[in-house]
Amino acid sequence: MQTATFGGGCFWCTEAVFQVLNGVESVTSGYMGGLLKHPTYMEISNGDTGHAEVIQIEFDEKIISYNDLLLVFFKTHTPTFLNRQGNDIGPQYRSVIYYHSSEQKLLAKQIIEKLTNERVFKKPIVTEICFATDFYEAEDYHQNYFIKNAGKPYCAFVIQPKLDKFILEFNKMIKSELSS
């Protein structure tokens, strides 16, 4: 198993997307990048602890590559917004890749360069690439949030449409690859 850690806004949304991928064994919501040891959601929610809301992914690289995870990461959030995703505003919602090896760091830099050169986004990518530091698991009620709360308004009106769009685009991409 390999580990990947991404921050792409609210971890509830990010977690839900990565949980549907074949080869992803687990997705854990948490906090990384700040100075405070063992932070709580209430402590990081004001944006001044330095932590980002992140997901930590355990994946089988024989089934899904780190590069594929990076592509999903960039496809499912807006990496051109500084400290913001949708209505979530603050440095805790920043776009960030925490790398666990020099290979992950290199792949992250390469994909940002490729997306920039291909002008995939109209604005510059502001995603940070940082060495993975201590990961602090978020409180239990944050784990598997969408799975446990699909009927709640935030899940129904924010997460579900994002997930539906991703699954539709992902299936189109798979069909296209199979037919070529």
Angstrom distances, CA of residue 177 to CA of 40, 164, 172, 174? 43, 20, 9, 5
Number of compact structural domains in the chain: 1
CB 145 within 8 A of CB 156: no
- Say which residue, 91 or 173, is predicted with more confidence: 91
Domain that holds residue 158: 2-179
pLDDT in tens, 9-59: 999 999 999 999 999 999 999 999 999 999 999 999 999 999 999 999 999
Q: What is the Rg, in whole angstroms, of the alpha carbon atoms belonging to the chain?
A: 16
- Annotated active-site positions, please? 10
Q: Output the pTM of the full model.
A: 0.92
Q: What is the CATH number of the domain that holds 32?
A: 3.30.1060.10
Q: How far apart are CA 3 and CA 99, in angstroms?
A: 9
CB 38 within 8 A of CB 63: no
Positive or negative: CA dihedral 103, 108, 114, 117: negative
Lookup: tokens for 70: 């990076």
Mean pLDDT of the chain: 92
